[in-house]
Amino acid sequence: MEDNYNPEFICVSDEDGTEYVFEVLDRIDTDDGKQYIAVVPTDGEEDDDTAENIELIILEVTEENGDPFLSQIEDDDEYDKIEELFLERLSEFYDIDEEE
């Protein structure tokens, strides 16, 4: 079977208008209607050295005025629970070194 890899990228702007590009690795929808996204930063170039040391970023997806909005998860317990779900799912595809 042919393995087709089609990465999904999102562009996010901060308060100052600076744009950042992230690759979406996974999404989780919870039973209580919340959505979370796991992304890694990308600069458009893939380097073997940096590919091994990429930080996973987990954000909550909300909606404001009909537009998607990404925000940090403020509650530590909620973050830990969602992080564990992502790490479990992503460990099947990536070599993940968990650091505290």
Q: What is the pTM of this model?
A: 0.76
Strands (E), 14-56: 19-29, 35-42
Task: Encode pLDDT of 32-80 as tens digits.
Answer: 999 999 999 987 555 554 456 678 899 999 988 988 889 999 999 999 9
Q: Domain-by-domain residue ranges, the chain? A: 8-90
If you count DSSP H runs as helices and E runs as strands, how many of each does the chain have, helices first? 2, 5
pLDDT digits (tens, 9 = 90+) for 6-36: 789 999 888 899 999 999 999 999 999 999 9
CA dihedral 80, 86, 92, 93 (to 10 degrees): -130
Beta bridge partners of 26: 38
| Closest residue by Cα to residue 34 from 6, 91, 65, 75 | 75
